[in-house]
Structures are given as structure tokens and as C-alpha cells.
Amino acid sequence: MKQFVLCTITLVCAVLFPQGSSAKEHRSEQIVGYFTEWGAGAPSNSYTLKNVASSGAAGILTQLDYAFGKVVDDHCQIANSEIALQHRYDASTSVNGKDDPSGPNQLLGTFHQLKELKQLYPSLKIIISLGGWGGSAGFSSAAEPEHVSEFVRSCVDLFIRGHFSDAITEEGVFDGIDLDWEYPVDGGLQPGKPEDKQGFTAMAAEFRRQLDAVRPGLLLTAALPAEPEYYAHFDLPQISRYLDYISIMAYDLHWNTEKQTNFHSALYHAHADPSLPPLNQRFGDFAVRGFLAAGVPASKIILGVPFYGKGWSGVPHKNHGLYQSATSPAQTGGSFRDLDALPKDADKQYYKEAVSCTVWYNDVFWSYDCKRSMRQKAKYVRQRKLGGMMFWELSQDTAGIDLLHTMQNGLIR
């Protein structure tokens, strides 16, 4: 009888007080998206923080990474002070629908818009990301033993304590720091050196120490490469002690400068892939298993995915364009909205084995993540109890944020 009463009460409560279906209630995984200040993120262009709010993206994200802060002369710098601090938004372009404040020494620009975004979405964490593919030249020197403490102090003072200029101080814009050093030792656009591996570890430890000294709960994250020959230059078990999350950049794994087309963000290795070592190890699951084997907790691993595609030109329409010779990188398109809007006669394919998508049209081949592959990657993250998903970047989704909605739904089901 007690069981019957309990079941009845439970059923009545379920009908009268149904549980909400929001992501916050049903998932603990992180959803991290980058917002670029340069390019599409600049206020002179079409995608601003107002779009992040009005599209619904801000309500889905757990963390927004602002790209990028600069590392120059062993100190942190704001990439563009005019855009970040001084650009004035009016009611039609601001996040909260109001004119920016007037008067001297007021915080304006994108940093003020970030603060408005946080006021509307208090649970959203805003992180300053340092470096990036084109901005990592200063890390090697900054991480040296004689520089690292002062370097970290400058970053914390600038972005966390909010000493943006002699006239403007505004604490609380950023909730942490993301390290995007591409890459220690091997380098990317800029050369590295053997000492960088120890330098990155020392830098992460110093950031952790100084952030905790400001206040508990400030985040320290990093974006790391998925290629094993690159992530071998990080002391993964040690740095995972200091980092809250590590995002694996499981994209750009095949570049369109290669002479043969391929998947640039496959989750698994396709048996037909003709790539020779080490290119045959360039898929997301290989990286995840490598990080886990190194001792990184699954809950700290964030799987990175692209909201854009890699394109090759001069590709014959054979095997849907996959694994075919190409004459040059494609020069146009690339975002999901562009690829999804191609004509109906475009040859679009989904590859279940690789968990990736392609499209061939007018001798141009694109590798990208469609909604099907995004759904499966979210399922992969959920099943393996990883920390969540990260994507590059917000402006490259559709106006209806199709990929972001797909990611969200895949993580909560």
C-alpha cells in the first residue's frame, strides 16, 4: 500500500511539477566556445557579442573564451585597446540594449559588452585566451625561469584584477585564463626550444598559484594539440594538476596544404585512409586515449570540434572527392553556414566510420563537421564521461546556431 501511495504521489508530482529540459539541469559537461575579437568579432563586422546573446548561444555556453590576449616582451597585453576598451556601442548594438555610459574613464568596448553579457547570464564564465596560432611567439621567453613570475603577474593584474589602463580599472570581466601556446618545443608559426616543455609546466603552476591567491574558483584552462608528435611536448600528468580543463584541438588534423584530400577533424581512423605515419594517427579518439593514458582525468578533458571546414581546390569528383589529389587550398567559404547552404546537387556525405562529413562541389572538396557528426561526437563525450566539448568559433555557426543546439542536445540525451 505504501508503495502504491508513493508511486501515486510521484506520478502526480511529475505531472504537476515537470522537470525542466534546460541543459543546466540535465548535464554537467562543459560547452566552451571561442569568440574572436579580430575578424568576425570586431565591432565593424557583422558578428558581435549582441549576436551571442540574441542567438541564444550565451544561454547554452558554460564558458566563453575571448580570443586573444597578446604575449609581448614577457608581459600580457590587450590585442587592440580601441576595440576592447574604447569603442562605443549604442542601444541598437549593445548586449543590454542601452547606450554605453558617457563620461571620462568609463570602460567601453568589447570588455564592457562582456560584462553586460555576464549580467544577463550570471552562470556564464568569461575567459581570456592567450596566444593562438598567430600569437604564440612570446611564450618561450615569458616561460623562462627568470621571467615567468612577472609574466604571470602582468596577466593576472591586467585581465583578472582589471587594470586595463592608467585610467580604467574594472575587476570582474574575466573569470580565468586560457593558455593557447601553439606550440612548445616544435613551435607553430614561430620556433620553439627544448626547454619549452618544462617552461609550460612552470607557467601553469605559477598561473595556478597566483590565480588562487586572488580568489578561489578562478579558472585556468589550456587548448592543446591533438597530434601526438605535438602533445608529447607537454607534461600532461603534471600540468593536469594545475589546469581545470584541457581542450584537445581535434581539428586541423589534415591541412589543405596537403596534396591529397582528407578529413580534418575525424573522430576515428578510417580504414581506407592512405595516410602514412604519423598522419595516420591524426583523429580525435587517438588523442583522447593518449591523454587518458598519460594520466589526465577524463573529467578534465574537453573534446574540441570545428564549426568550419577545410577546403581543397582542383579535386576530381571521384570517391566523392575524398583521398583525391588537389591542386591548391580552397580560397572561399569554410564556415558551417556556407557549407550547409550549398546547392542541392552538391555531393554531401557522412562517414560513419570516421564520424565526419564532406562535400564536393565544382571541383572543390570540403571536410567539416555536419550536425550528424556533431551529434555522434557529443555522444562520444557523454559515454566516455569526458569534461565536455569546445568549438572554434561562435561566428561560424548558422544564425539558428544549429551546431551548438546539436551539441547541447547530444550531451543531455
- Domains of the chain in start order, with CATH, are 23-308+368-412 (3.20.20.80)
Cell of 187: 613551435
Q: What is the dihedral of CA 93, 96, 102, 107, to 10 degrees?
A: -100
Helices (H), 215-235: 228-231
Report the pLDDT value the prediction gives residue 39, as an integer from 0 to 100.
Answer: 54
Give per-residue pLDDT as tens, 21-40: 333 333 479 999 999 987 55
Residue 42 — pLDDT band, cuts 50, 70, 90?
Answer: low
Query: What average pLDDT score do residues 171-181 get?
Result: 98
- Residue 311 main-chain phi, psi, to 5 deg: -120, 145
For residue 13, pLDDT over 50 is answered with no
Cell of 208: 595556478
Q: What is the mean pLDDT of the chain?
A: 92
Residue 7 — pLDDT band, cuts 50, 70, 90?
Answer: very low
Which of 14-23, 228-237, 243-252, 404-413 has the weakest average pLDDT? 14-23
- Residue 90 main-chain phi, psi, to 5 deg: -100, -175
Q: Is the dihedral of CA 44, 70, 248, 332 positive or negative?
A: positive
Report the pLDDT value the prediction gives residue 357, as an integer from 0 to 100.
Answer: 98
Distance between CA atoms of residues 113 and 405, nearest Å = 24
Distance between CA atoms of residues 26 and 407, nearest Å = 14
Higher pLDDT, 303 or 331: 303
Look at the block and give the residue holding cell 585581465.
159
Category of 90 on φ-ψ map: left (φ > 0), alpha (ψ -120 to 50) or beta: beta
Report the pLDDT value the prediction gives residue 332, as an integer from 0 to 100.
Answer: 77
Report the pLDDT value the prediction gives residue 18, as an integer from 0 to 100.
Answer: 33
Residue 45 — pLDDT band, cuts 50, 70, 90?
Answer: low
Give per-residue pLDDT as tens, 217-238: 999 999 999 999 999 999 999 9
Report the pLDDT value the prediction gives residue 1, as an integer from 0 to 100.
Answer: 39
Report the pLDDT value the prediction gives residue 27, as an integer from 0 to 100.
Answer: 46
- One-letter amino acid of 376: Q
The CB density around residue 34, as the number of other CB atoms within 10 Å, is 27
Distance between CA atoms of residues 342 and 346, nearest Å = 6
**Inter-residue contact 379 to 410 (CB < 8 Å):** yes
Report the pLDDT value the prediction gives residue 44, as an integer from 0 to 100.
Answer: 61
The CB density around residue 371, as the number of other CB atoms within 10 Å, is 18
Residue 362 — pLDDT band, cuts 50, 70, 90?
Answer: very high
